[in-house]
Amino acid sequence: MSIRILLADDHQIIRDGLRSLIEKEDNMEVIAEAVDGNQAVQLAVKLSPQIILMDIAMPDLNGIEATSQIIAAVPQCKVIALSMHADKRYVMEMLKAGASGYLLKDCAYEELICAIHTVLANKTYLSQPVAEIVVGDYLQQVQKNDGSAFSVLTPREREVLQLIAEGNSTAHIADHLSLSIKTIETHRQHIMKKLNIRSIAELTKYAIREGLTSL
């Protein structure tokens, strides 16, 4: 049984090219074409295609809004963005709208076919440039919101915290790190202040939870 595909792009030459390439595949067929977002939504609801290749910059209703409406109405449809835009805003908004894949229009045809099969297997497909954008955005958010020991404490403070959690005395830690007892006490005070923790027992629990040491 052929994979049923809907093309949504306001450029005739793009649709013609995609149709020509796709219909060379034995197990794929283009069942309809949409020239704007509204038509894409109407055809998706009427025909329930398995795959929708969706441009983003279309008249009347853009591809992001169209994707959101389609996923709400026909959740079994898999939308793959096929766009010339690699801007983070477009990528993230398209994924939030429910797209299962995002490709740039300069990708190789073989990659498009791979993306179709990937999203049909209920996986997400992002071309490499797009994946780099998504990972970069994720790392930025993690750095902003991360309250882990690895972002809150300095390397030396983490080292001292681990030794405290493992039951070492202040004198032993000072000797082990070739530091003064006063310096270790200062580190401990800073650690407790940063973490808003008031006891060694709570420090130990925190260190275990954060993976600095184990029971």
136 found inside a domain: no
Q: Which domain holds residue 163?
A: 149-209
Share of the chain above pLDDT 90, in %: 68
Question: pLDDT at position 22, please?
Answer: 94
Task: Verify that 118 and 30 share a domain, yes or no.
Answer: yes
- 58 belongs to a structural domain: yes
Give me the CATH number covering residue 22.
3.40.50.2300
Rounded to whole angstroms, the maximal C-alpha distance in the chain is: 77
Bigger pLDDT: 31 vs 135: 31
Question: Could you tell me if 17 and 121 lie in one domain?
Answer: yes
**Based on the structure, what is the number of domains in the chain?**
2
In this structure, are 166 and 117 located in the same domain?
Answer: no
- pLDDT in the model for residue 138: 67
Q: Is residue 90 part of a domain?
A: yes
Domain membership of residue 138 (yes or no) is no
Mean pLDDT of the region 4-28:
95
Q: Is the pTM of this model over 0.85?
A: no
Instruction: Please report the pLDDT score of residue 191 as a whole number.
Output: 93
User: CA–CA separation, 101 vs 12, rounded Å?
Assistant: 22
Burial degree of 167 (CB within 10 A; 0-12, 13-18, 19+): exposed
**What's the CATH number where 194 sits?**
1.10.10.10
Could you give the dihedral angle defined by the CA atoms of residues 165, 169, 173 and 176, in that order, rounded to the nearest 10 degrees? -120
Residue-wise pLDDT tens digits, 133-167 = 778 776 666 555 556 666 788 889 989 999 999 99
Span 29-57, average pLDDT: 96
pLDDT tens, 76-123?
999 999 988 878 888 888 999 999 999 998 888 999 999 999 999 999
Q: Are residues 83 and 153 in the same domain?
A: no
98 and 168 share a domain? Answer: no
Does 26 fall in a domain? yes
**Do 90 and 176 have their domain in common?**
no
Residue 195, CB-side half-sphere exposure with 13 Å CA sphere: 26
Cα torsion 121, 124, 130, 134 to 10°: value is -160
Q: Kindly tell me if the per-residue pLDDT of 40 is higher than 90.
A: yes
Does residue 132 form part of some domain? Answer: no
Confidence of residue 50 (pLDDT cuts 50, 70, 90): very high
Across the range 166-191, mean pLDDT stands at 94
Tell me the pLDDT tens digit for each residue of 193-204: 988 899 999 999
42 & 117 share domain: yes
